[in-house]
């Protein structure tokens, strides 16, 4: 045993001596070059990069190294100060600009093949002759069907500068048809649906805050007012935000003159307040705002302004908690940075931004794990940070907007049959099959009641159960379909109904009876006493 110890000791000594010898040699070289490692004005970082460029053994990939250094440096700030390479910056700006350049279709990928849901009206694809239900096989010479091509790759292949040509080959009823399409500017709509739920209650679903949000919202709201709207359910669930000015303009529609919408403040940015100007056209409309854990940024600014001014009721679950003012800096190579310069605060003084802690990136998962999605008592509330609304109600800080009416996620409806169908996207693929089968009739329906009657008439439930068993081998246990049908049938109607002329309006209208958050808003007054 002693001999073994000596052997190890000798071996270790050899390693240590080798390391020391290497360090000594390096130190000898380094002693000839003593640099001032001053951190001020980024001097140390510049010196290191210069030394690497001058002395590194192999050719330097300057672009990759610079991008990596910038990305690493910004990562030391906050989770939302980021560097965007040219492609990512372009995509980010297109998403919020209200338009992009491409062929103009919406599609989904139910069976490893992109299927056209609808060509954008007046867009290049519609003009070229693409139809709802076409399967996209190739983009130019690249096959994208049946080979697990990622959806984002499909999008990049179809998008491109205005005026450029692309060949789209589709499978239509078993026949391959090539279309030469000239790309153009395509409008991106942010109002997903706007309709009357009943004689006096309107519903608007907003997906993001783009450059065109105020215009789209105003047009939608105006139509609903003409139809008798006295109360609005404004759905901001899963709306990740966008342009701040659009959020202010929407809040301005509901608030009185001089009422504070939001203020921003930062180390190098003095407090700046944004008030309503009193010209809003919806000041007499009762308001319920729907939010959840996916509602962020501009969505939270709007919800916070409505809540703190006691202008309406916030319904749902605690919002994401992103309240940072980000300033864009773009470079001539097409890249850019988004740097946080201030924070947003609600009128009562609450900071919308949640804390940066070690669980920041996994916060939504943590909410699930700790029961916040299903129990109001588990909701993260900083009771030490108490603020007051215009009428003196207590509201709390800690990040995000806490709803006035909490609506838990309902997990009781998820039967084994439902879960198995979800895993295989059975309902989505079934909807595509129904469109193929009833294309002629579905495509012509533009009235919701007529659509509902039509779907009832084709015995959708029986066809779905037959499809699930035949194609996916999924069958409900005894009594399980009776438990699942109440929840699944509206979803099936929504997915199939989307192929009608009503498109997303049909989808959202069919969901209303099983949407607990909308039902809670309907049952509770939107007037704050």
Per-residue pLDDT tens for 464-476?
A: 999 999 999 999 9
Residues linked to residue 61 through DSSP beta bridges, in sequence order: none
Q: What amino acid positions are annotated as catalytic residues?
A: 297, 308, 322
Answer yes or no: CATH 2.60.40 is held by domain 208-213+239-286+295-306+318-409. Answer: no
Distance CA 353, CA 80 (A): 11
Q: Is 322 helix (H, G, I), strand (E, B) or coil?
A: coil
Q: For the chain, which residues make up each domain, given as ranges? A: 37-76, 99-187, 208-213+239-286+295-306+318-409, 416-519
96 band by pLDDT with thresholds 50, 70 and 90: low
| CATH architecture for segment(s) 99-187 | Roll (2.30)
Q: According to the model, what pLDDT value does residue 329 have?
A: 87
- Which tokens sit at 462? 């029986």
Distance between CA atoms of residues 106 and 115, nearest Å: 9
- Cα 290 to chain centroid distance, Å, stands at 15
According to the model, what pLDDT value does residue 78 have? Answer: 87
Question: What pLDDT does residue 43 have?
Answer: 81
DSSP label of 314: E
DSSP 42-86: GHHHHHHHHHHHHH-SS---HHHHHHHHHHHHHTTS-TT-EEE-H
Give the CA angle between residues 129, 133, 137 to the nearest 5°: 80
How many of the other CB atoms lie within 10 Å of CB of 59? Answer: 6
CA distance linking residue 378 with residue 268, whole number of Å:
37
**469 to each of 418, 421, 427, 457, 466, how far by Cα in Å?**
13, 10, 12, 21, 5
- pTM, two decimal places: 0.82
The position carrying tokens 């399980």 is 480
Query: In this structure, what token pair is assigned to residue 154?
Result: 């499909």
Apex CA 293: angle with CA 290 and CA 298, to 5°?
A: 65
pLDDT of residue 357: 76
Is the confidence at residue 101, as pLDDT, over 90?
no
Summarised one tens digit per residue, pLDDT across range 213-271 is 999 999 999 999 999 999 999 999 999 998 999 999 999 999 999 999 999 999 999 99
Burial class of residue 512 (count of CB atoms within 10 Å of its CB; 0-12, 13-18, 19+): middle
The residues, ordered by sequence, that sit 6+ positions from 392 with a Cβ below 8 Å of its Cβ are none
What does the pLDDT read at residue 187?
A: 77
Cα separations (Å) of 240 from 95, 98, 186, 388? 12, 15, 21, 26
User: What are residue 471's phi and psi, to 5 degrees?
Assistant: -90, -40
* Alpha-carbon span 317 to 10, nearest angstrom: 64
Tens digits of residue pLDDT in 407-459 = 998 877 789 999 999 888 899 889 989 988 998 899 899 999 999 999 999 99
Phi then psi for residue 286, to 5 deg, are: -65, 150
Cβ–Cβ < 8 Å for 90, 102: no
- The H or E element containing residue 261 is strand 260-266
For 409, counting Cβ atoms within 10 Å of its Cβ (0-12 exposed, 13-18 middle, 19+ buried), the class is middle
- pLDDT score of 28: 45
Question: 264: which residues sit within 8 A by CB, 6+ positions away?
Answer: 271, 272, 325, 342, 343, 344, 345
Reported as a pLDDT band with limits 50, 70 and 90, residue 1 is very low
Least confident segment among 48-57, 75-84, 356-365, 426-435: 356-365
Dist CA 72 CA 52 (whole Å): 17
Closest of 173, 240, 168, 242 to residue 210, by C-alpha: 242
The span from the CA of 189 to the CA of 209, in Å, is 10
Average pLDDT over residues 509-513: 95
The Cα–Cα gap between 395 and 404 comes to 9
Q: What pLDDT score does 8 carry?
A: 42
Tokens 């049946």, located at residue: 146
Q: Which long-range contacts (CB under 8 A, 24 or more apart) does 222-225 make?
A: 222/281, 223/194, 224/194, 224/195, 224/196, 225/281, 225/282, 225/285
Kind of pairing, strands 286-291 and 191-196?
Answer: unpaired
DSSP code of residue 351: B
Give the distance, in angstroms, between the CA of residue 159 and the centroid of all CA atoms in the same chain.
20
Mean pLDDT, the chain, rounded, equals 87
How much is the average pLDDT of 160-174? 90
Strand order in the sheet with 313-316: 191-196, 201-206, 231-235, 286-291, 313-316, 405-406
Band (86; pLDDT cuts 50, 70, 90): confident
What sign for the dihedral angle of Cα 363, 364, 366, 371? positive
Residue-level pLDDT at 476:
95
The pLDDT, as a whole number, for residue 38 is 67
Distance CA 158, CA 97 (A): 19
Residue 17 is predicted with a pLDDT of 39
H or E element in which residue 124 lies: helix 124-128
Distance between CA atoms of residues 130 and 133, nearest Å: 9
Q: What are phi and psi of 184, to 5 degrees?
A: -150, 175
The candidate with the shortest Cα–Cα distance to 524, out of 292, 299, 204, 286, is 286
Is residue 202 over pLDDT 80? yes
For the record, the structure tokens of 209 come out as 């805050």
CB contact at 8 A, 213 and 242: yes
Angle, vertex CA 315, rays to CA 507 and CA 280, nearest 5: 85
Give the residue-averaged pLDDT of 288-309.
96
């Amino acid at each position: 045993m002693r001999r073994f110890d000596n052997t190890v000791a000798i071996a270790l000594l050899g390693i240590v001596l080798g390391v020391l010898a290497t360090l000594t040699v390096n130190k000898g070289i380094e002693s000839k070059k003593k640099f001032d490692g001053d951190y001020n004005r980024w001097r140390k970082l510049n010196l290191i990069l210069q030394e690497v460029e001058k002395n590194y053994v192999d050719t330097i990939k300057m672009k990759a190294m610079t991008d990596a250094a910038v990305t690493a440096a910004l990562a030391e700030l906050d989770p939302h100060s980021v560097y965007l390479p040219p492609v990512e910056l372009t995509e980010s700006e297109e998403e919020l600009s209200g338009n992009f350049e491409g062929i103009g279709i919406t599609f989904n990928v139910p069976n490893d093949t992109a299927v056209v849901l609808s060509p954008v009206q007046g867009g290049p694809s519609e003009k070229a002759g693409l139809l709802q239900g076409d399967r996209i096989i190739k983009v130019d010479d690249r096959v994208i069907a049946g080979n697990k091509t990622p959806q984002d790759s499909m999008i990049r292949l179809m998008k491109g500068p205005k005026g450029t040509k692309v060949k789209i080959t589709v499978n239509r009823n078993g026949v391959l048809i090539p279309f030469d399409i000239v790309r153009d500017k395509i409008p991106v709509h942010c109002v997903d649906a706007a309709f009357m739920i009943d004689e006096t209650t309107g519903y608007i679903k907003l997906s993001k805050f783009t450059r065109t949000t105020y215009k789209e919202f105003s047009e939608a709201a105006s139509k609903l007012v003409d139809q008798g709207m006295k109360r609005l359910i404004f759905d901001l669930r899963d709306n990740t935000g966008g342009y701040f000015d659009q959020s202010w303009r929407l809040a301005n529609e509901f608030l009185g003159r001089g009422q504070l919408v939001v203020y921003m403040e930062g180390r190098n940015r003095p407090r700046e307040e944004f008030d309503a100007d009193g010209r809003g056209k919806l000041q007499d409309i009762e308001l319920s705002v729907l939010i959840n854990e996916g509602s962020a940024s501009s969505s939270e600014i709007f919800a916070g302004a409505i809540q703190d001014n006691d202008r309406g009721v916030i319904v749902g679950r605690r919002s994401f908690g992103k309240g940072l003012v980000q300033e864009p800096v773009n470079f001539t190579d097409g890249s850019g940075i988004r740097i946080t310069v201030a924070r947003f605060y609600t009128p009562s003084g609450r900071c919308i931004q949640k804390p940066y802690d070690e669980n920041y990136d996994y916060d939504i998962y943590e909410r699930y794990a700790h029961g916040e999605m299903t129990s109001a008592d588990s909701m993260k509330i900083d009771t030490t940070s108490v603020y007051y609304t215009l009428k003196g109600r207590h509201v709390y800080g800690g990040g995000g907007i806490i709803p006035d009416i909490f609506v838990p996620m309902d997990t009781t409806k998820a039967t084994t049959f439902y879960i198995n169908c979800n895993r295989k996207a059975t309902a989505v693929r079934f909807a595509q099959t129904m469109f193929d089968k009833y294309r002629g009739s579905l495509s012509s329906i533009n009235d919701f009641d007529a659509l509902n009657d039509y779907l009832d008439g084709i015995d959708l439930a029986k066809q779905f159960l037959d499809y699930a068993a035949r194609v996916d081998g999924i069958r409900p246990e005894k009594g399980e379909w009776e438990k699942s049908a109440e929840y699944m049938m509206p979803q099936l109607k929504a997915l199939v109904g989307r192929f009608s002329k009503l498109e997303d309006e049909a989808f959202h209208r069919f969901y209303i009876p099983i949407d607990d958050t909308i039902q809670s808003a309907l049952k509770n007054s939107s007037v704050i006493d």
